[in-house]
Chain A
């Protein structure tokens, strides 16, 4: 199943929160959804699910969600770690969510076990930590084994072990041919988790591409070369039309996509090379580079 968001637009008063947003989510990969605070990520997810009323539409395997006889088999969503009645036990909460698809109690117990909440099944979630709330929310989302998972900041409040578990689980879920669409502020984690990213800023699309292609957009990508004869190599690189700047005691940072080109030039000019490394910007660095200045809630030093 693929999911196609077409022209999603949402206006709150005088502010356009989401502007004509279109993208496609493919099965088999985890798609990360990135954007600064207030950029419209949560609103976009709610628009996709039909929870917010706006313009545009989302096609789930070519059809609107309302046209599917059992929406729970199509999409499972986890939008907030506090979306539960604090006085309903965790197990009863999941039994309620499973009512539409007539999910057996055994499946409810299985999912509770999967997210590590078996011992809390009969407890009321009013005492749950944020992390436990996230687990309960995730349990609800996967209960009916939907073909699409839509998760809004599911890693918030999770400890490192739980984040690793979440990453492995989502990759496994996607690898089974499902669509996984997950927003997160934890960009380092997202770099490990997602193979594809949809990036928005101020409600508009910035990128919809594989993580590798997105990272390659950075101006910080370069090749580091260390040599005992930096002056001579710099002259040779300049003659070849490459821009090289000094980096450290004996290094040059060369603005080029392919490290082999630098190696060939050094070899041709008889310059010894001690290190030749292609340096790629992190997802976080590219994200900051492309979205700086577009935050709605930037601090004084950032805007």
Chain B
């Protein structure tokens, strides 16, 4: 496994796109935090704290869970893990070196998730520092923010696993990014608003709405289970296909 992890790290770190995507994600996290703060100042016209606007909420607006652009960037890093390998045929080199496909799957998921989380941590620190200096954002205890941050990390890992799975299932890098984002950003919202009135249970079963509610701290157990269930089903499906299909 050590060799596979080393291999995957060299794969991901030797591609310029990885660093460009990571840097863009960090810069945009900071930029959105700054713009959000500036927008609040402009809207309220005062320097006093806005009730209910704590750092978690402000970070949530400016960071991954609700910031589609950052999610696209981090999702692309995840999609590249399998997508680029299939696109350029290097998956055959990889699987010749590591005939046990489970090892490759685990190594890719592990290394990519670490890179994505590391990027997210840096982006969060940047955004947090910017937002915490804004006089209108209410300060909160470190533990409150840490809880919110950990939930976001869990969501991000789950989102990345869904991207991995869809990329493996379709073998197309672009679809690995587009399908989850289309569902997270558009399809689920439409489904919930259009069909939700007639099928009341439907919104509660949608993966990304449940994931967002989990991050927001709403009915965390149920939403966490729904989101986790989707992640598990898709990941297992992706793994089985990766294991059984011709490379």
- The residues of A with any CB-CB pair to B shorter than 8 Å are 46, 49-53, 65-66, 70-72, 75, 77, 79-80, 82-89, 92-93, 95-97, 99-102, 140
Per-position contact with A for B89-122: 1 when CB-CB < 8 Å, else 0?
A: 1101101111110000000000000000000000
Residues of A contacting B17 with CB < 8 Å? Answer: 87
| Interface pair B89/A80, CB less than 8 Å apart | yes
| Interface pair B10/A96, CB less than 8 Å apart | yes
| Apart from the given pairs A46-B92, A71-B98, A77-B96, 4 other A-B contacts in the complex at a CB distance below 8 Å | A46-B247, A53-B245, A84-B88, A88-B15
Residues of B contacting A83 with CB < 8 Å? Answer: 88-90, 92-93
Secondary structure class of chain B's binding surface, majority of residues: helix
Q: How far is the CA of A72 from the CA of B89 in the complex (A)?
A: 18
* Residue B7 at the chain A interface, CB threshold 8 Å: yes
Given contacts A83-B89, A85-B88, are A50 and B15 in contact (CB under 8 A)? Answer: no
| Interface pair B7/A51, CB less than 8 Å apart | no
| Interface pair B10/A51, CB less than 8 Å apart | no
Q: What residue in chain B is nearest A10 (Cβ atoms)?
A: B246
Residues of B contacting A96 with CB < 8 Å? Answer: 7, 10-11, 14
* Residue B222 at the chain A interface, CB threshold 8 Å: no
Interface centre among A70, A82, A100 (most CB of B within 10 A): A100
Q: What's the count of A-B pairs with C-beta under 8 Å?
A: 81
Distance in Å from the Cβ of A29 to the closest Cβ of chain B? 22
For this complex, 23 residue pairs linking A to B, each with C-beta atoms less than 8 Å apart, are A49-B96, A49-B99, A50-B99, A51-B246, A51-B247, A52-B247, A53-B246, A75-B96, A77-B92, A77-B93, A80-B89, A83-B89, A83-B90, A84-B90, A88-B14, A89-B14, A96-B10, A96-B14, A97-B93, A100-B3, A100-B6, A100-B7, A102-B3
Q: What residue in chain B is nearest A91 (Cβ atoms)?
A: B14
Q: How far is the CA of A77 from the CA of B97 in the complex (A)?
A: 9
| Interface pair A71/B96, CB less than 8 Å apart | yes
Interface centre among A72, A77, A85, A87 (most CB of B within 10 A): A85
Task: Count residues of chain B with CB under 8 A from any CB of chain A.
Answer: 27
5 residue pairs, one from A and one from B, having the closest CB atoms: A92-B14, A100-B3, A99-B7, A51-B247, A83-B89
| Interface pair B95/A50, CB less than 8 Å apart | yes
Residues of A contacting B247 with CB < 8 Å? Answer: 46, 51-52
Q: How far is the CA of A147 from the CA of B234 in the complex (A)?
A: 39
Q: How far is the CA of A82 from the CA of B100 in the complex (A)?
A: 24
Per-position contact with A for B1-25: 1 when CB-CB < 8 Å, else 0?
A: 0011011011100111100000000
> Contacting A82 at CB < 8 Å: which of B89, B96, B244?
B89
Q: How far is the CA of A190 from the CA of B14 in the complex (A)?
A: 37
Residues of B contacting A77 with CB < 8 Å? Answer: 92-93, 96
Residues of B contacting A50 with CB < 8 Å? Answer: 95, 99
Interface centre among B9, B88, B89 (most CB of A within 10 A): B88
Q: How far is the CA of A50 from the CA of B96 in the complex (A)?
A: 8
Residues in B66-104 with C-beta less than 8 Å from chain A: 84, 88-90, 92-93, 95-100
| Interface pair B6/A102, CB less than 8 Å apart | yes
Distance in Å from the Cβ of B92 to the closest Cβ of chain A? 5
Distance in Å from the Cβ of B188 to the closest Cβ of chain A? 34
> Contacting A85 at CB < 8 Å: which of B90, B92, B95, B245?
B90
Residues of A contacting B93 with CB < 8 Å? Answer: 77, 83, 97, 140
Q: What residue in chain A is nearest B88 (Cβ atoms)?
A: A85
| Interface pair B96/A51, CB less than 8 Å apart | yes
Residues of A contacting B7 with CB < 8 Å? Answer: 96, 99-100
Residues of A contacting B100 with CB < 8 Å? Answer: 66
Residues of B contacting A49 with CB < 8 Å? Answer: 92, 95-96, 99
